[in-house]
Chain A
Amino acid sequence: MNRFDLLNKIQNILKDNLVICNIGLPSQELYKINDQPNFFYMLGSMGLSSSIGLGLSLSQNKNVVSIDGDGSVLMNMNTLATIGNRAPSNYTLLIIDNGSYGSTGDQRTFTDENTSLKDVAIGAGCKNVVECSGDETVNELSKAIDDQNNSYVIISKINSGNVKIDPIPLNPITIRDRFRKFIGIVKYL
C-alpha cells in the first residue's frame, strides 16, 4: 500500500473532521481523491502540519486530524514534545511513514534506517502512540477520532511510491476561507 491507496481508504473517516494536510503530494493526492472544504491543504511551510493541527485543536472543539509525513516530522520533531504536553483530546496526528521523501523523488529518510518515530513520540511524552500497517490504519484512525477523551499519534507504515498528479489549483485564500466557513467562522461566503 502506498500513500495514495491509504488516503483513498481513510477519506470517508475524514469527512466530518478538520483535516490539516501536509504540503506536496499528500495534499495533491487528497485533493484529487475527494476535495472537501474541511481539508486545509498546506502549500508551503514543510514540517508544520502537526503544529498547525495542534493550534487548531487548542482553539475550537471539533475533531482535528493532522496528516503528516515521516520526512516532515523529522524536520520539526520538537513539536512532538509540545503535542506530548499540550495536545487536547480532539487532536489526532496521523504520520504516514513511507520511509521516504515522496514529494522530492523518494529519497530515503532516517525512518528507513535507525529512527523510530514511535519511540520518539513516546519519549516526547505523547499519549496513545500507535504504530500500525496501512491496512490497520482505518481502524486505528476511527478509534482515535471516536475517542472523545484522548489525543492520539498514529504512525502508519506504508510503502513509498507516488501517483502522477498536478499541483492544487486552489488559491490559498480560498482554502483558508472555505475551511473557516466549515468551522462556522466565515459568514460571507
Chain B
Amino acid sequence: MKISKKIIDNLKKGGVDFYLSVPCKLLANMIDILEKDKNVYYSAVPREEEGMGICAGAYLGNKFPCIMMQNTGIGNSVNAIVSLLQLYQMPIVFLISYRGTPGEPVGAQGGMAKITEDILQTLRIPMLHCSSENDLEKISTFSKHAKVVESPVAILCDFNLMKDDK
C-alpha cells in the first residue's frame, strides 16, 4: 500500500484531480485509495481509448486528468492520443503499470513490454520510468510538466516496484 499511496499523493500534489482506470492487479491498491477519496473524481472505464476521450472532455472542463492502465492500453489508444490529446495540446497523465518487465510471471505480457517505450518515443510523449521507490518523488513535478508543455505524459511503473505493495 505504501508505494500506491505515494504515487497517488504525488499525483495529487501535482494537481491531478480526475482519475480513470482500466483495472490491472498492479493498480488495485491505487483504485482502492481513489474510491475512498472524496476530494477527487474516480471511475473505471471499459476501454483505454474511450478513457482518453473522457479525459479530454474533463480537461476542457478544467480538470487535470489521469488515466491509469496497463501498457497494453497505449496500444489501444494511439489514434486518440495523436488526433485528440496531442492535436488540441491537452495535458493528460498516463499512469501505466508496466507489465512484462522483469518479475512478470505472464510470458505473454512480454510482447507489449518490448515495444511500449518505442511507441511512446515515436509519439513524442515525455516518459518518467519508475523502477524504485525514490523515483516516485519525481511524479508531482513531472505531472506539472504536462501542464506546462500542454502534452500528455507517461509514468511507467515497473512490475517489481508494484508487485509487493501489499
Size band of the A side of the interface? 35 or more
Q: Is the CB of B46 within 8 A of A176?
A: no
Residues 173-189 of A at the B interface (beta carbon under 8 Å)? 173, 175-176, 179-180, 183, 185
A54-B54, A54-B57 known; A45 and B83 CB under 8 Å?
Answer: yes
Residues from chain B with a CB closer than 8 A to the CB of A42 are 84
- Say whether B43 faces chain A, with CB atoms less than 8 Å apart: yes
Q: Is the CB of B57 within 8 A of A179?
A: no
CA distance in complex: A43, B56 (Å): 13
- Say whether A56 faces chain B, with CB atoms less than 8 Å apart: yes
The DSSP consensus for interface residues of chain B is helix
Residues from chain A with a CB closer than 8 A to the CB of B80 are 45, 48
Residues 30-64 of B at the A interface (beta carbon under 8 Å)? 41, 43, 45-47, 49-63
Residues from chain B with a CB closer than 8 A to the CB of A173 are 88-89
- Say whether B82 faces chain A, with CB atoms less than 8 Å apart: yes
Most chain A C-beta atoms within 10 Å of own C-beta, residue among B43, B54, B87: B54
- Say whether B18 faces chain A, with CB atoms less than 8 Å apart: yes
- Say whether A12 faces chain B, with CB atoms less than 8 Å apart: no
- Say whether B141 faces chain A, with CB atoms less than 8 Å apart: no
- Say whether B121 faces chain A, with CB atoms less than 8 Å apart: no
Q: Is the CB of A79 within 8 A of B61?
A: no
- Say whether A142 faces chain B, with CB atoms less than 8 Å apart: no
Q: Is the CB of A55 within 8 A of B89?
A: no
Chain A residue at minimum C-beta to C-beta distance from B81: A45
CA distance in complex: A59, B56 (Å): 11
Q: Is the CB of A58 within 8 A of B60?
A: no
Residues from chain B with a CB closer than 8 A to the CB of A20 are 57
Using an 8 Å CB-CB cutoff, how does the interface string of B57-82 with A read, 1 for contact, 0 for none?
11111110100000000000001101
Residues 87-125 of B at the A interface (beta carbon under 8 Å)? 87-90
Chain A residue at minimum C-beta to C-beta distance from B79: A45
Size band of the B side of the interface? 20 to 34
Q: Is the CB of A179 within 8 A of B50?
A: no
CA distance in complex: A81, B46 (Å): 8
Residues from chain A with a CB closer than 8 A to the CB of B54 are 51-52, 54-55, 58, 79, 82
Q: Is the CB of B49 within 8 A of A48?
A: yes
A54-B54, A78-B50 known; A44 and B60 CB under 8 Å?
Answer: no
Most chain B C-beta atoms within 10 Å of own C-beta, residue among A56, A78, A86: A56
CA distance in complex: A172, B52 (Å): 17
Residues from chain B with a CB closer than 8 A to the CB of A57 are 57, 61
Q: Which 5 A-B pairs have the closest CB atoms?
A: A44-B83, A55-B57, A51-B53, A59-B61, A48-B53
Which residues of A are interface residues toward B (Cβ below 8 A)?
Answer: 20, 40, 42-60, 76, 78-79, 81-82, 86, 172-173, 175-176, 179-180, 183, 185
